[in-house]
Structure 1
Amino acid sequence: MDWDAIQRLVERLQDLQAASAEWGDEWERARERLANGLRPLIQQMVRRHVWDGNLREDIAQEALLVILQKLCTYDRTRASFRAWASRVVINEICHQLRLEYGRPEVREADIRNPEDEEEDSGFLEEVADPDQPAHQQVAEKERLERIFARARATLSADEYLVWYEHLVNGTPYEEIARLLKRQQDWVRQTLHRAREKVAAAIVLDEGILSRDEIENAINRCQRSGEPLSEKERETLMQSIATSPRQSPGWRQLNLFRQACLKVLPHILSLFWLFGLPEAPELSGHRGASTECANASQFISWSGGFPA
């Protein structure tokens, strides 16, 4: 059952519920069909975000129960059921992974099982370069896992949904706007805000980027067509000077986020996240985006990053 069929079934359930205070056999059968149709779609969503197989099943089951329990609160005039259900699933994922996050090590259970790749396009694919040392493959997977954990912990459900759909799934602005029943300008602004927040979270996480990596990226940024301003550079250097790293106060927070977003495209392994073309009216820069035609080209070349 696809999302269009799910949408029709949900609307039928709501119509039956509105027509009578006593729900009959037809309502029960329709609800059972909905649960059976939703289950594989929810499991697929969760697989893209969670590596631990046991945790994955728990989250999927809990998300399904929440969706069915809150079905009466869904407003079909405000958003598609797919968008509404996606928010519920992402909220459940974020809740569980915030509890799990903080493990410095990568457990074998957290790395995707290659047998899952036929069903899922490979959110965390096997590294394409067979000559890359095994320890480098594991290190890149660990870094990628931490980045997405940071994104989940930092962004709101809407921000994460837009960020993930556009940057990872390659969903265009207009399709995201249609899915969420929003204007394209809202999608662009939400994506830009999400990218800034994720960039700042990555810079502040010593488990993702070393100080040397950040300083080298700053040096490359200063030789580029859009260098950091003196204030941006000063704010960024102050934040990485301490251990643990400290986010600046609210007066300088936007400046810090802008600086992080400028610098991260100059770290090759993060190019696919931060070197993509941005809406010029929002960012005013292209970073390193002209070096590759699109994210998929870079990911295919480098291996190990989600397509």
Structure 2
Amino acid sequence: MKSNRHLSLPENPLNFLKIILSNDPRSTGKLPKKFTEKHGNDLLERVILKMPNNDVWKVDLKKSKGEIWLSNGWSEFVAHYGLKFGHLLVFKYEGSSTFGVVICEPSASEIVYPKKTIKDDARKSQVTCDKLKSVKSEDETSSSWSEDQNHGIKFNDEGECSKKSECYQRMKEGMIAIEKAKANFKCDKPFFMAYVQKTTLTRGVNAAEFRRKILKGKKTSSCSLQLKNDARQKKWAVVARKRYLGSAEWKTFVEDNGITLGDICVFELMHKDAKVLGVTILRSAS
């Protein structure tokens, strides 16, 4: 009788995060050791990556000496979504060699997923992960953690961010905080959330979220922010420029309302013309 282990949902599946630590996709394709130990034997030679917009990617695996790498098809995946330093991917294992994948920007906000095209499926990978080489230290007593000199972020030979690094902690805390806030926040109008980081305080919040959830095709690039349930009804002007919704009076808005690291700002559409966003500030417990 043939085993049907590939056809059923595994018991207590192990999910994992992957942080992109360089612009080279070859350094990001290794599956975590704990996941490999638990589910490696159940994975076929090709896995399925399912995206929130219903696109599906087929990626080959390379198995060698107890390690598993995402191989042919991974480079195209990375290129299609423009993954680069700081992006965070959540892999949810669904069994049957299938993963649900969510991608977040360095700001911890989920990206807008571009649709696949026929060209994406037909394109041949220019750089495959088959030529990956494990870089081992000759001195076995030395630490396996190294440091990216351009960013000052520590990572190991698996291309995983150190749990002690500011990068990893910021990403993880932001993801968890946003998910908890979404579960408890009720709103019948279009809205988006932003986890406050250092760049948020000075530059603003993710403009992609603003364009996708608020504008929805409208050409407006400027609007005003107004605290919800505030009798003053004071407004602060902001502008969406490239990556950030900020500029203009953003820094004044931050200072006037005492916004600090770890807070979550909820931006809610108040009027159909998207000219005014109501803001709710969820204060960090710390």
Q: TM-score, normalised by structure 1?
A: 0.29
More strand as a share of residues: 2
Q: Which has the higher contact order (CA 8 A, sep 6+)?
A: 1
Q: TM-score, normalised by structure 2?
A: 0.30
More helix as a share of residues: 1
